[in-house]
Structure formats: structure tokens, C-alpha cells
A and B are shown apart, each in its own frame.
Chain A
């Protein structure tokens, strides 16, 4: 399985929105509604932010939203805050005989 493709970086000013893309294939992102997004601060473990494309776990602010169109999933962070500065990774189910696959990661900078 090849890694899903994410832009290396994204940025926005406080209060603005930033959208991160995650592009796969019909064998992963496009084939199933099992895309997750993780936030990782430096030196910390990843944290689940979005699952099943657009669902938020309890405790995750509604500033975080997810969507999917075809083979590309997206994470949008609205009302950017300083604490949103982190690395973000998408992940997708890739079939019953395969491990899932992660994206290449995107570093979000709050200007």
C-alpha cells in the first residue's frame, strides 16, 4: 500500500480556516467511508480528530470537520487557534486483507 498524498504544509492566521487534502485511490479513500484524521503535536502521540470521514470523537471541537469527494478526503479547521499548530495525518481503510494506510502528513502553521 502506498501512502496517501497530503500537502507538506498549510497555514493560516488566527480565526481563518485551513483545509488539508488527502488523496488516495479507489482501493482506499475512494472505496470506503473509513477515513480518519489525526493531530500530532511535537513529541506527543497522535490524537484522533475525525473518523468515518466526518464524525468527531467526544471532546474534539466542532471547528474540525471532514469531508470526502471521490478519491480525496479533506480536513477543514475553522477559526484557527494557536493550539491547532501541529502535524495532521489522514488514514484510510484499504480492504479486509490489508492494513490501513496513512497519509504523508501536513504541518499546519498558525501565522
Chain B
């Protein structure tokens, strides 16, 4: 069964850091681009970052550029999102999804992990 399982969310103070992980199973992880998409409470979807299957190409939303870093370990079938200098408006459910900017849609999604930035 194709599956994505996020972890690492939690409560963090403004200015703090957090690293999200997404464990993939059921498909050849290294062959697919992967993305992080977030959804603030009561709001719509926002594409945060994407990375190619090899890890050689990355893209970021302007809202997180310079603060967030996407990475992957294809030997561990795991995608990461390092989030630094967190702000209140980064509060959201963060989803990991299979697919990137040139993929025919993001066809597999994790259940999401909640990040709350508050003092």
C-alpha cells in the first residue's frame, strides 16, 4: 500500500525551529518528486516546497524562502522540512505529498502534522 506518514509537528515559540519528517512506503521513493503543502486553520492550501526525486532541484514559496529547507534521504525513503525562524503565520497543518511541480498532480497525501507557533 502506498503511504506517507508525517511526524515532527508540535508547539514552538516564535523564532524557533522544527523539523518535519515524511516516511514513504509502497513506491520507489527516489523516482518521484515530493512536496510539502500547508493549510492554516480555516484557510486554503498553500504549496510550501517541492524537491525532485534526485534532490537536485528545489522550489520554495516566497513566504518561506530563506527560512525553510526541504531535503530527502532516498536511502531511508524519507522527506524532510527544516523550518527555522518560525512565525505565527506558519501555524498550519503540514501535508507531505507525492508529486512535484511537473508531476501530473499530487496523487498520494499524508495525514498531516500540526505546527503551532505561539508564545
Q: Which residues of A contact B (CB under 8 A)?
A: 1, 3, 34, 36, 38, 40, 45-48, 50-52, 55, 57, 89, 91, 93-94, 96-105
On whether the beta carbons of A105 and B44 are closer than 8 Å, the reply is: yes
B26 within 8 A of A: no
Assign chain B's interface to a size class: 20 to 34
* Chain A interface mostly: loop
Chain B positions within 8 Å of A98 at CB level: 59, 101
- Give the complex CA separation of A19 and B66 in angstroms: 39
A75 nearest CB across to chain B (Å): 13
On whether the beta carbons of B105 and A99 are closer than 8 Å, the reply is: no
Chain A positions within 8 Å of B78 at CB level: none
B47 within 8 A of A: yes
Q: Which of A1, A48, A96, A104 interacts with B106 by CB under 8 Å?
A: A48
Most chain A CB inside 10 Å of its own CB: which residue of B45, B60, B106, B112: B45
B50 within 8 A of A: yes
- Give the complex CA separation of A52 and B102 in angstroms: 10
On whether the beta carbons of B45 and A99 are closer than 8 Å, the reply is: no
Can you list 27 pairs linking A and B with CB atoms under 8 Å apart? Answer: A1-B62, A34-B104, A36-B104, A40-B45, A45-B109, A45-B110, A46-B37, A46-B45, A46-B106, A48-B106, A51-B104, A51-B107, A55-B104, A57-B107, A89-B44, A89-B45, A91-B45, A91-B105, A96-B101, A97-B59, A98-B101, A99-B49, A100-B47, A101-B47, A102-B37, A103-B44, A105-B45
Q: Which of A46, A93, A102, A103 interacts with B102 by CB under 8 Å?
A: A93
